[in-house]
Amino acid sequence: MSGGVDSSVAAALLLEAGHDVVGLTMHLWSDEGTSKAPCCSFGGERDAAAVAAHLGFPHYTVDFSHEFFALVVKDFIGEYVRGHTPNPCIRCNTFMKWQLLWEKAQKFGAGYFATGHYARIEKSASRIHLRRAAIRQKDQSYALWGISQEQLNRTFLPLGEMSKDEVRKKAAALGLPNAQRNESQEICFVSNDNYRDFLKEHNPGVLEGIGSGEIIGPGGKVLGHHLGFPNYTIGQRRGLGLTWPRPLYVRHIDVATNRIFVDEEEGCYGHAMRVEQVNWVSWEKPSEAFEAEVQIRYRDPGNPARILPQEDGSVSVEFLSAAWAITPGQSAVFYQGDLLIGGGIIVSAKT
């Protein structure tokens, strides 16, 4: 339970369905050694505890601050230093929630695990299927591609058929103390949504070591200088400080030469990419190539592509029509209809 409306309503629905509910909240940030601790966790812990007390089930906060730093924050910093743009929520789901928290829940006596994610789980004869939420706009299945079959088999996602509006109405009807709480779309451990300041604060030496580099425009012309490539992300338009008749976007980050390549919108389309750390969800690992819709960032509507599973477990993706701003570090998730087949991390893109 994050303390937000979604996980609170999920808990309430389980309670109504007659389950023995225990609320767990992860304490993810220890303020030791940091002057500017983000405010995310403490307020959430309090809100979750208030909801549990209101609904009448036990609630515990478990301290995973060290684990969170080791498994999520370090990777977040490391990915930027590799010229990637990470999505820490994916690792948090895979390694924190469905791994450490689920293990902890079992030790606390739980037989099943539930969250307030908007997605649907369906049991078929041979495999547990993960599907997009009934309401496509709220779908969060994209962030759940890392969950194993064993874990899915013990997971409930009570909000999968609901709209946000219904969830809010339910929260209000139950008189939940957090019914009016606003949702945060920001990365929970980065204050003011400013990851650049976060990197500076947590990795000062490395950023200084990288230093400034060239910005290369269409046709190979040096257009200006950047502040160090980790400060940029593929598809970024703002903050480049360039003069050009048409808007320019970051097309490619070259870590080896510390150069950033920018281009006009149509120059930022990619035709293929390589995906690693692949997890097959609703399908067993396929041996043949297949066609699927590939979603390459959280709000991406998806792009038709051919998926070519490789010997080494990675996947090559060839887009049937080019995809815009393929960003290494982000997750690629393969769907057929609303069925989530599998996903992985984008490691490189080809234009």
Partner 1 sequence: MPMKSVYLDNAATTQPAPEVVASMTEVLETHWGNPSSIHEVGRWARVRVEEARQHVATLLDCRPEEIVFTSGGTEADNLAILGVLEQGQGKKTHVITAATEHHAILDTVHWCQNNGFDTTILSVASDGRLDPSEVKKAIQPETALISLMFVNNELGTIHDIAEIGRVAREAGVVFHTDAVQAFGIIPFSVADLNVDLVSMSSHKIYGPKGVGALYVKKGTRLNPRTHGGSQERNLRTGTENVPGIIGFGNACQLCMERLESAPPAIQALRDRLEKEILETIADVSVNGSRMHRSPGILNCSFKGCEGEALLVGLDMQGIYVSTGSACTAGSTGASHVLRAIGLSLEVAQASLRFSFGRYNQPEDVDRVMEVLPKIVHRLRRMSPV
In the bound state with partner 1, the residue whose beta carbon lies nearer, of 16 and 63, is: 63
310 binds partner 1 (CB under 8 A): no
Complex with partner 1: residue 19 or 104, whichever CB lies closer: 104
Give the nearest distance from C-beta 45 to partner 1 in angstroms. 8
CB of 41 to partner 1, least distance (A): 11
Interacting positions 64-93 with partner 1 (CB under 8 A) = 66
Q: Rounded to whole angstroms, how far apart are CA atoms 41 and 221?
A: 46
Nearer to partner 1, 110 or 322 (CB): 110
Report the candidate in 315, 9, 260 with the shortest Cα–Cα distance to residue 138.
9
Q: Find the angle CA(266)-CA(344)-CA(194) to the nearest 5 degrees.
A: 65
Q: Does 60 bind partner 1 (CB under 8 A)?
A: yes
Minimum Å distance from CB 108 to partner 1? 5
Active site residue 92: yes
Displacement of CA 351 from its chain's centroid (Å): 24
**Rounded Cα gap, residues 133 and 131, in angstroms:** 6
61 binds partner 1 (CB under 8 A): yes
Q: Answer for the pair 344, 290: CB distance below 8 angstroms, yes or no.
A: no
Contacting partner 1 within 14-53 (CB under 8 A): 22, 27
CA angle 315, 318, 320 (to 5 degrees): 145
Answer for which of 43, 53, 58, 153 binds partner 1 (CB under 8 A) is 58
Task: Give the C-alpha separation, 218 to 1, whole Å.
Answer: 48
Residues 165/109, Cβ–Cβ less than 8 Å:
no
Which is catalytic among the residues 40, 89, 92, 268?
A: 92
**Between 58 and 313, whose beta carbon lies closer to partner 1?**
58
Q: Which stretch binds partner 1 (CB under 8 A): 56-64, 235-243, 249-257, 340-348?
A: 56-64
CB of 288 to partner 1, least distance (A): 38
Residue 89 known to be catalytic: no
Structure tokens belonging to residue 7: 């996980």
Q: What are the DSSP E strand ranges found in 103-212?
A: 113-114, 119-123, 128-132, 155-156
Of the candidates 40, 89, 188, 268, the residue annotated as catalytic is 188
Give the footprint of partner 1 on residues 98-127 (CB under 8 A): 104, 106-109
**Strands of 249-254's sheet in order across:** 222-226, 213-216, 259-263, 249-254
Residues 182 to 221 in contact with partner 1, rule: CB under 8 A: none
Q: Smallest gap, in angstroms, from Cβ of residue 61 to partner 1?
A: 5
- Amino acid at site 123: K
CB 231 within 8 A of CB 211: no
For residue 272, which amino acid is it? A
Tell me which residues are annotated as active site: 92, 188
Binding site for partner 1 (CB under 8 A): 22, 27, 58, 60-63, 66, 104, 106-109
